[in-house]
Amino acid sequence: MARIVVVSPPFQSHARPLSVLAGALRRAGDEVHFACAPAFEELARDADIGFVPLTVTRNANTGIAERTEQDTAEAARLTEFLDATRAGAVPALLAQARHRRADMLADPERILADLRNLQDRLRPDWYLVDQLNYPVTLALHCLGLSYASYCPGHPGYLPSGPDAFFGEPSAWPAAIRPRPAERAALRTAVRANDAAFTSLFADFAALHAPHRPPPGRAFALTSPHAVVYCYPPLGGLPVPPEGREALYAGHCAAPDAPVLDPYWRGEADRLRATAGKVVLVAFGTFLSARDDVLRTVARGVLERCPDATVVLAAGDRTAALADLAGPRVCVAASVPQRALLAEVDAMVHHGGNNSFTECLAAGVPALVLPFSSDQFAVAHDAERAGAAVVLDPAAVTGRQIGDAVAGLLTAPPPGLGQLSARVRERGPDWAAARLRAVMAAGQERPVAP
């Protein structure tokens, strides 16, 4: 039995799947502790594992980004980001590039001290750390501790070649093709971030761990042992870093099928009785603030799909969208997404990795409207695999959305069934078993990806 500390950033979309993987490690026989901000202790209880309070960034998202308590600067940056998504793909990515320094390398000295104290208290055999937890990865590197990495989104989050840069999509869906000048501006921004972060990492390591090897490219710093990708094993993905086991988990949803509570059971039955089909619309914890696009989606489906009803996850914009509620529409701040996926006929989402992989595991066809981050690469993969349809949220019309959803309800994408079966064969228990083997062997014997 190993003692493992799983370290997560304080973001619901990262912490929840990581806690599920932590629970799988516990079921496999290890002693597991979940280290995250105090607001996420409930996830540790749900996974039946220990909890260690550890805050690794000033930013946070406990479920609905706009309702999460933020300081003034963080709230202003969230507003700036949301405004940038209205201008299109590259403006959104450029805004994220500008914000990256504060988001991803906040207070590294404190985090190094916290990790050193945690190591002294618990003496774990190894750590599992979110790849986007850059100050934690840097601290583990400086301390020379054993760890595995968890990539929470598209595999392109981990750049593995000289022409790959964090913050620039590794691929674009057909509906979104930035102009050459836009792509050049984005490439300039991400290259500058790469150089700046690499310099910061090198200076920090030289000061605090001069006896350790240099960390190299900052965004490429990852476990020397294994990387767990919360992603299906698709062809054509970015090549993973050499010398590590690349474990494609397919998804990190809890193995127990969730059950709808009485309210949602009643809503699902009501909508199904009203019309023959049910469409779930959810843009994740940040992008639910784009109520203009949510409204366009709902109206498009209602107008072009007379046999469909809509469940709309509106986040903090429930009041702004309340006029849509009625016999064919349920508007709620948040929804039990995994449980509802067993009840719906299609989903409209933003290309977030959790929504993508959960739709695949449930066999639900999707319309993807990517706004930012890795969502463009995820959308490209979903489109190329024949599992989804992709449109540009910055230019799409309600008619286009309604027609796309009508097509999904009539004939699901041709590649969905096969890919769904491959994803269901894997999952957190699959990943935990292979990860334990890699760490136990010290990578002396290979594990098939």
Beta bridge partners of 309: 278
CA 110-115-116 angle, to 5 degrees, is 95
Residue 447, domain member (yes or no) = no
pLDDT for the residue 57: 67
pLDDT for the residue 289: 94
Does residue 239 sit in the same domain as residue 267?
no
* Residues 437, 449: Cα–Cα separation, whole Å: 12
Does residue 231 sit in the same domain as residue 352?
no
Contact (Cβ atoms closer than 8 angstroms) between residue 355 and residue 284 = yes
Does residue 413 sit in the same domain as residue 436?
no
Does residue 379 sit in the same domain as residue 395?
yes
Which two three-digit tokens encode residue 3?
């003692």
Q: Which amino acid is at 421?
A: A
* Residues 244, 107: Cα–Cα separation, whole Å: 28
Q: What CATH number should be reported for the domain holding residue 198?
A: 3.40.50.2000
pLDDT for the residue 149: 98
Q: Which amino acid is at 19?
A: S
Residue-wise pLDDT for 188-219, tens only, equals 999 999 999 999 999 999 999 999 999 999 99
Does residue 144 sit in the same domain as residue 207?
yes
Does residue 130 sit in the same domain as residue 17?
yes
Residue 373, domain member (yes or no) = yes
pLDDT for the residue 104: 65
- Class of residue 40 by CB neighbours under 10 A (exposed 0-12, middle 13-18, buried 19+): buried
Q: Please give the tally of structural domains in the chain.
A: 2
Where are the strands (E) in 152-242, listed by range? 226-229
Residue 446, domain member (yes or no) = no
Does residue 333 sit in the same domain as residue 205?
no
Residue-wise pLDDT for 66-113, tens only, equals 444 556 777 888 899 999 999 999 999 999 999 886 666 778 999 999
Does residue 296 sit in the same domain as residue 417?
yes
Does residue 307 sit in the same domain as residue 419?
yes
Residue 181, domain member (yes or no) = yes
Q: Name every residue whose Cβ is closer than 8 Å to that of residue 381 and which is 6 or more positions away in sequence.
A: 154, 171, 234, 236, 237, 356
pLDDT for the residue 66: 45
DSSP string, 317-377: GTTTTGGG-BTTEEEES---HHHHHTT-SEEEE---HHHHHHHHHHT--EEE---STTHHH
CA 34-152-333 angle, to 5 degrees, is 85
Contact (Cβ atoms closer than 8 angstroms) between residue 15 and residue 43 = yes
Does residue 115 sit in the same domain as residue 226?
yes
pLDDT for the residue 59: 55
Does residue 94 sit in the same domain as residue 160?
yes
Does residue 395 sit in the same domain as residue 437?
no
> 177: domain range?
3-254+427-441
pLDDT for the residue 367: 98
Residue 448, domain member (yes or no) = no
Strand order in the sheet with 277-282: 329-332, 308-313, 277-282, 346-349, 366-368, 388-390
Alpha-carbon radius of gyration of the chain: 21
Q: How many CB atoms lie within 10 A of CB 246?
A: 21
Residue 449, domain member (yes or no) = no
The parts of the chain modelled with pLDDT lower than 50 are 60, 63-68, 443-449
Choose among 174, 127, 24: nearest CA to 439. 127
